[in-house]
Amino acid sequence: MTALSRAARRHGPAVLFVAALLGAWQGLADLQVISPVFFPAPSRAFEELAFSASDGSLWTSAWATIKRMLGGWLLASAAGIVIGGAIGSSRTARDYLEPTLEFMRPLPASAIIPVAILFLGLSGSMALAVIAFGAIWPVLLGAAHGFATSRRGLRDVAAALEFGPVQWMWKFSLPAAMPDILSGARISLAIALILAVVTEMQASLPGLGYDIFMAQRSFRSAELYAGLIALGVIGFIVNHGLAMFERRVLSWREPQS
């Protein structure tokens, strides 16, 4: 009961705002100020959503997009931690890599798509490569910063306990850099979702992005909005999931006593 009322107090305002927004949308659509061809009522969008959920097409598409996003994000995170870790902990690695990375970083990921298509075709691996390229930067910079923070005290501890370089990385450096890595990874995940949708649109790969694109092409506006709502829900859930994971892993950072 108290948990319920606490949840109500905490989330009540947000729920109210969403309800008001939907109400306004519905009202405007009912007035038909704008043609329903471009601006369908939310009730129609939700009907469409329910329909595609019941015939299974929603789940197939959503799952395709989620897999694409997660795949690209995992690639980006793994590569970002390795490269960022190298830059952060080794002067030599930084001297070699940093200028090239500084050159590549401002390149918009969507501008990479033609190159990726040239090499990998209109394929899922092309999409993964583009997503990984675009999403790598926040996690890479986070890792570089996290590993670069000097921790002389901990170095002495590692040396005193006769830990070698591998164990130094594994037991000291990586966990110490974890907060920076995770905050980068969260931004990377948002970018990965964006790029999953963009590559689907550009390369006709199955997924919500492709569905939205096709709906727009054939003026099925209710379907278009249904796709957008589904994307929004995915982004929301995934971001919250990662935030919860972060709180768990980094629980040591919140003094509780």
Interface positions with another protein (CB under 8 A): 151-154, 156-157, 159-163, 171-172, 175-176, 178, 250-253, 255-257
Task: Kindly state the smallest distance separating residue 144's Cβ from another protein, in Å.
Answer: 19
Query: What whole-number distance in Å separates Cα of residue 243 and Cα of residue 171?
Result: 23
- Please, which residue, 174 or 187, has the CB nearer to another protein? 174
- Please, which residue, 108 or 153, has the CB nearer to another protein? 153
Q: Which amino acid, residue 30? A: D
- Please, which residue, 35 or 251, has the CB nearer to another protein? 251
Both tokens assigned to 39: 């601006």
Task: Kindly state the smallest distance separating residue 157's Cβ from another protein, in Å.
Answer: 6
Both tokens assigned to 224: 């278009």
In the Cβ-directed half-sphere of 49, how many Cα atoms lie within 13 Å?
Answer: 17
- Please, which residue, 55 or 156, has the CB nearer to another protein? 156
- Please, which residue, 100 or 256, has the CB nearer to another protein? 256
Task: Kindly state the smallest distance separating residue 226's Cβ from another protein, in Å.
Answer: 43
**Residue 105, SS3?**
coil
Task: Kindly state the smallest distance separating residue 184's Cβ from another protein, in Å.
Answer: 17
Longest dimension (CA), the chain: 75
Task: Kindly state the smallest distance separating residue 163's Cβ from another protein, in Å.
Answer: 6
Q: Which amino acid, residue 95? A: D
Both tokens assigned to 37: 């061809």
Tracing tokens 């974890």 back to the chain, one arrives at: 178
How many angstroms from the chain centroid is the CA of residue 25?
A: 28
- Residue 253 gets which letter from DSSP? G
Instruction: Tell me if 109 sits within 8 A of 134, measured CB to CB.
Output: yes
Task: Kindly state the smallest distance separating residue 89's Cβ from another protein, in Å.
Answer: 17
- Please, which residue, 2 or 257, has the CB nearer to another protein? 257
Query: What whole-number distance in Å separates Cα of residue 147 and Cα of residue 181?
Result: 9
